[in-house]
A and B are shown apart, each in its own frame.
Chain A
């Protein structure tokens, strides 16, 4: 019986846990609640995905109010997969958070940190699960506001400017999105996504709908850090507390990309986007330019967190590129890269968090000789780096395979060549770190560094092994991603 309410519980549990943390006012308790809630949410997401894969989309009427008037939670293979990514990452980040939060955030704010974290989780899950366009905006704001708080808790004072920058950009993005939703509402008189999709066809050639489409894609483009709307991201990731960087890097942009997929494919429809607008061409051009610009910028960063942040912008480019093919293979590649990139960046940022935990900095120069001093952490970084490059036996290879295949299917071999060349840029920035960590002697005037504690190593290595496991056995990831791609393109599944 409780299984029928999993969709509601997916949101309600973290939502209730957040104020509970505030009431308890104890950092330790708040952390325990966060871990328990994250694991419960992960469990629910697994159940939901199984249900969806076994018996098709789930529709859940919140509070028993029927769909067009009440809020409907609608779960198909696309968002069940994204729910799994978000909760899965949270399930490993929550145990990881404790040690880094103890060190980076003053004790009296711990419970606030955890409640903001839970709110952020609620917001991200809500965006994904809901079937109501306005509800998306509400959850978007919940997740955004809480992530501004989380970022501003960073140890460095620059975290405040970074959070402020993100706040300004994020608000512009959310506002654009809201304007778009408003225009859609004006034309269709409904906010339920399925309803909108049914009614938009009749009015799709109006200027209002076109404007709505533009506002929504640009607004979401800001949230997903699509080049050149990515400027908020590097600072936000670089100065946020370690656990927050891991969590946001692995989930926030993915959720924004999911939202774009949902609006473009389910609401407006692929035909509209292809025939009436130039979205595919725009996305492809921006994706390719973004991949190269961000990768090249990454090569010149000395703050390694910043370097990986630029790499994230590049990786968002790959996901968007996959989407821009508007084909099953391309979308499969883009969607599977949501998952795969979460695994690789999660592992990499966790390794950096452990470095920060021991060194108090992630400056390249201070990482000299770390290969010997923190062997497990740095080896995790190496494997994460391999995955980022896209070497075989890692998840990165699978994503790359699908992107190249999608390009070749269309006969666009220059795109395939560009994807491959850009992955060589990843070799350049990953290898800079490897050479410094393994070939340089540790700085003489600094105290000796020891390996990170187990509470950081275990979650890190869980993700590292996931990078390898899902690079070798793709039946789950590709299976779900392919079915998601087909359902987005209206080909059943």
Chain B
């Protein structure tokens, strides 16, 4: 199959999958089979693009003009490959997990759940392979809308309120800032194509570029930069597979991916480095890293704690982008992958605890490691990866980010990165300690092993092993990201 076809197919396959899922709503087994087949097919399609892209090809296609002068255009380039590979691979893992979780937890409206999930993945892949800003924006908004029914899945008042915050903030930032920035870019540059080196050089004054950059960075609300981060904790009312794949991987990574993409291909890192317009945003990201970690430490609800941890970790990537040097971009891109594997493992575990032990608060989890040893071991591995210690993949992202900060001579940022690692020990390790080294509430001896359903266990061990594998073998990622900064 040629690269062009594979791109189109990668966007269409999840949509076709959504139809198949909807069509088999009376047969749960058939429906779940449809999800798994679709997810696998998607991953294979994305994977088939990897070697041509690594070989330097850039499969692209222009579909049709949506507004005179601007077309729907798709292109597979290294940065998009990183995001698409991770999202599509983890969709398979999450699908396995969902089967155990949704059935084990007796959720309602499962068909709607899987349909929206497939649409969300299709739009995430669209974001990854968008060839220009308008195409990206369209998929970005579809992603927001298709995940709204997932966030509000339970239909309770709490879900409705959470959904309101979710949708309100994401639409507000994207319409008020991002759309404005995009039209503005179009009116000064006359193009919205993602071009190595950027499209704004010589077209706009330094002041306009500075304003545009701020509009983009805050307008990409999915990157959850403070003060527009509140939607992410609000989204935690969703069923756990949604929090795991969408609010630790697909949606939030679509955000930070867009930040990287805009930085590299709309502005160009050299242009920004000369102008210095990104410097204050770098400190906003640094502040978000620290504040979100501090808030995370105080959360007792496990999913909320993980959500604040995500906010903090996303700002690593924004920080990497705003360093506007090659090492920062490489670090940001690597961290997209590393954090995805680590955080999805943690969410899987949080969901497993909910299904097996019906617990949501950390204070209730004393001694739970004895009942759920597999789950809590996976949690430990995920935590270590987020903290960033070897032999976990999480180390590499931080490594390159630190190098980037050093190269840019920002020692303060280096300190921020180290502090944040300490803080992440502070909010993750207590959960592990609580689980393994405190005795449970019931004094009646050893209650025996009571683990989550098998599909959940499979999923969390795959993602936990992924954390380790990425430590040993980060090479493809590194090569892809190097191509982004030196085409």
Contact = CB atoms under 8 A, between A and B. Distances in A.
A423 B184 contact: no
Contacts of B175: 389-390, 420, 423-424
Contacts of B183: 401, 404-405, 408, 416
Given A398-B67, A420-B175, A404 B180 contact: yes
Interface in A416-439: 416-417, 420-421, 423-424, 427, 431, 435, 438-439
Interface string B155-189: 10101100010011001100110011001101100
Residue among B138, B168, B172, B179 with max Cβ neighbours from chain A (10 Å): B179
B145 A424 contact: no
B180 A424 contact: no
B176 A421 contact: yes
Contacts of A427: 167-168, 171
A334 B382 CA distance: 54
Given A391-B145, A408-B183, A472 B176 contact: no
A87 B179 CA distance: 34
A478 interface: yes
A1 B220 CA distance: 58
Contact of B176 (A408, A424, A473, A479): A424
B66 A474 contact: yes
Given A392-B138, A393-B138, A421-B176, A401 B67 contact: yes
A393 B142 contact: yes
A374 B157 CA distance: 22
B187 A409 contact: yes
B443 interface: no
A413 interface: yes
A438 B109 CA distance: 13
Contacts of B172: 424
Interface in B50-75: 64-68
A473 B164 CA distance: 31
A339 B206 CA distance: 39
Interface in A435-483: 435, 438-439, 472-475, 478-479, 482
Contacts of B176: 417, 420-421, 424
Contacts of A391: 141, 145
B167 A431 contact: yes
B170 to A, nearest CB: 11
Interface in A46-85: none
A278 to B, nearest CB: 26
B187 A408 contact: yes
Contacts of A390: 175
A386 B160 CA distance: 18
B137 interface: yes
A405 B66 contact: no
Contacts of B67: 398, 401, 474, 478
B282 to A, nearest CB: 25
A396 to B, nearest CB: 11
Nearest to B156: A439
A479 to B, nearest CB: 8
B65 A475 contact: yes
Chain A, interface size category, equals 20 to 34
Interface string B140-156: 01100100000010010
Interface in B445-479: none
A354 to B, nearest CB: 22
A421 B179 CA distance: 11
B337 to A, nearest CB: 28
Contacts of B179: 400, 404, 420
Nearest to B175: A420
Contacts of B68: 474, 478-479, 482
Nearest to A421: B176
A448 to B, nearest CB: 19
A435 B65 contact: no
A135 B159 CA distance: 58
Nearest to B137: A392
B65 A431 contact: no
B180 A417 contact: yes
A423 B67 CA distance: 20
A482 to B, nearest CB: 8
Nearest to A332: B68
Contacts of B141: 391-392
Contacts of A438: 155
Interface string B334-369: 000000000000000000000000000000000000
A479 B137 CA distance: 23
Contacts of B157: 439
A388 to B, nearest CB: 13
A408 B182 CA distance: 11
Contacts of A478: 67-68
Contacts of B64: 472-473
Nearest to A403: B183
A435 B160 contact: yes
B138 A405 contact: no
Contacts of B66: 472-474
A484 to B, nearest CB: 14
Contacts of B155: 438-439
A438 B154 CA distance: 11
B87 to A, nearest CB: 21
A423 B152 CA distance: 23
Contacts of A386: 145
Contact of B152 (A401, A404, A439, A473): A439
B119 to A, nearest CB: 13
A389 B64 CA distance: 24
Contact of B187 (A389, A405, A423): A405
A105 to B, nearest CB: 38
B135 to A, nearest CB: 10
Interface string B374-416: 0000000000000000000000000000000000000000000
Nearest to A402: B67
A408 B184 contact: yes
Residue among B157, B175, B184 with max Cβ neighbours from chain A (10 Å): B175
B171 A424 contact: yes
A390 B175 CA distance: 9
A439 B148 CA distance: 13
Interface in B214-240: none
A321 to B, nearest CB: 15
B82 to A, nearest CB: 25
Contacts of A431: 164, 167
Interface string A365-406: 000000000000000000000100111110000101100110
A360 to B, nearest CB: 27
A18 B378 CA distance: 77
A173 to B, nearest CB: 35
Nearest to A407: B183
Contacts of A420: 175-176, 179-180
A475 B157 CA distance: 44
B322 to A, nearest CB: 24
A349 B145 CA distance: 23
A417 B184 CA distance: 11
A166 B65 CA distance: 43
28 contacts: A386-B145, A389-B175, A390-B175, A391-B141, A392-B134, A400-B179, A404-B179, A404-B180, A405-B183, A408-B184, A408-B187, A416-B180, A416-B183, A416-B184, A420-B175, A421-B176, A424-B171, A424-B172, A435-B164, A438-B155, A439-B160, A472-B64, A473-B64, A474-B66, A474-B68, A478-B67, A479-B68, A482-B68
Given A408-B184, A424-B175, A424-B176, 10 more contacts: A389-B171, A408-B183, A413-B180, A416-B183, A420-B180, A439-B155, A439-B159, A439-B160, A474-B68, A478-B67
Interface of A: 386, 389-393, 398, 400-401, 404-405, 408-409, 413, 416-417, 420-421, 423-424, 427, 431, 435, 438-439, 472-475, 478-479, 482
Shortest beta-carbon contacts, A-B, top 4: A392-B138, A404-B183, A408-B187, A439-B160
Interface of B: 64-68, 134, 137-138, 141-142, 145, 152, 155, 157, 159-160, 164, 167-168, 171-172, 175-176, 179-180, 183-184, 186-187
